[in-house]
Amino acid sequence: MYEGLVSMIHSMTGYGEAEGQFNEITYAVEIKAINNRYFKARIKLPESMTFLEDAIEKLLAKELSRGTINYVLRLKNVSANALFDIDDTALKAYVARLNEIASSMDVNCPIDMAGLLALPGMLVPVLQDKEAMGRIRDKVLSITQEAVENLKRMRAEEGAALRVDLEEHCKGIKDALEQIRSRSKEVPEEYKQKLKKRVDVLLADGKLKLDEATLAREVAILAERSDISEEIARLDSHLQQFARSCGGATGDKKVRQVGNKRNNQAGRKLDFISQEMLREANTIASKTTDIDVVRWVVDIKCRIDRIKEQVQNVE
């Protein structure tokens, strides 16, 4: 049941890029994704392309459910006059004011036009008409979609590596749980024998005999207090839920069909299940005094801690 999980989980980290040409301008998109509990987009665009920000963010939010997404659009092979124009009114105002100051101070100082162009407000983005903006928008979104697909491909590959590690730890937990299940059936009888032997030693000098009813009652009390069958069953159920959330077990046809649909909440769900797994392991530890069971529980908790670390990387 826990072996051969179908890899439907994606890592939150990844990288994707793509570029395309339109009107002799090359549009290059680069996307980097890192871990985040929620979706957060950081979009960096050339000043002349800021009208694309909302459309790009909507596309990213639709395709990527979690993570901090760093998006950069760069323009290549583009002439300056295609992006910016000079504000003639502002330039004339600067020149007139400088000439006025030079005249009042009786100073003959040439005006550096290149220096003026570096002043705020001198260069303004070239405004595109709505039709041109629409064509640019479609082209950039198409390139962005390609970059997103490359990012998702890398996320899927890293998700496969995560799945292998999660699968290994789930199998280790199951093996230890089976040992605990088997051992828990032997503990009450062993306790009964130890208790009987101890009382017999204490009562040997008085030549007294232990009341079998009293012994049975004490054993029953211990068995009730240390009963971990419910915790074992719940932890086993959590393991099965964990396997299904990772994509399902290979032997389950129904789960495989469901697993073909992308589960955008896999990371959050796996995080919640791992917390419940740890809760059951802690309860088992608190109920038992058997050295072997305690040792197996410690191994289970170590594996759950590793799982909790790994699922933080799952989208």
Tell which residue, 221, 228, 223, has the closest CA to residue 296. 228
pLDDT of residue 262: 46
pLDDT of residue 250: 36
3-state secondary structure of 298: helix
Give residue 68's identity as a one-letter amino acid code: T
Give residue 93's identity as a one-letter amino acid code: A
pLDDT of residue 211: 63
Q: Which helix (H) or strand (E) holds 18?
A: strand 14-22
Q: Which residues lie below 8 Å from residue 115, measured CB to CB, with a gap of 6+?
A: none
**Sign of the alpha-carbon dihedral angle for 207, 211, 216, 217:** negative
Tell which residue, 15, 309, 20, has the closest CA to residue 165. 309
Distance CA 12, CA 161 (A): 13
Q: Which two tokens stand for residue 154?
A: 């890398």
From residue 186, give the alpha-carbon distance in Å to each of 43, 123, 180, 199: 62, 84, 10, 20
Distance CA 271, CA 311 (A): 6
pLDDT of residue 93: 76
Give phi and psi for 6, each to the nearest 5.
-75, 130
Helices and strands of the chain, counted as H and E runs? 11, 6
pLDDT of residue 78: 60
**Which residue is it, tokens 């070239």?**
126
Per-residue pLDDT of the chain (315 residues; tens, 9 = 90+): 444 334 478 899 999 999 998 877 889 999 999 988 889 999 999 877 889 999 999 999 999 988 999 999 998 876 555 556 566 677 677 777 777 777 777 767 777 666 666 666 666 665 566 787 888 899 999 999 999 999 999 999 998 889 989 999 999 999 999 999 888 777 666 666 666 666 666 566 555 565 666 656 665 666 556 678 888 999 999 999 998 888 754 334 443 333 333 445 688 889 999 999 999 999 988 888 788 888 999 999 999 999 999 998 888
Distance CA 111, CA 69 (A): 46
pLDDT of residue 59: 96
Distance CA 25, CA 207 (A): 104
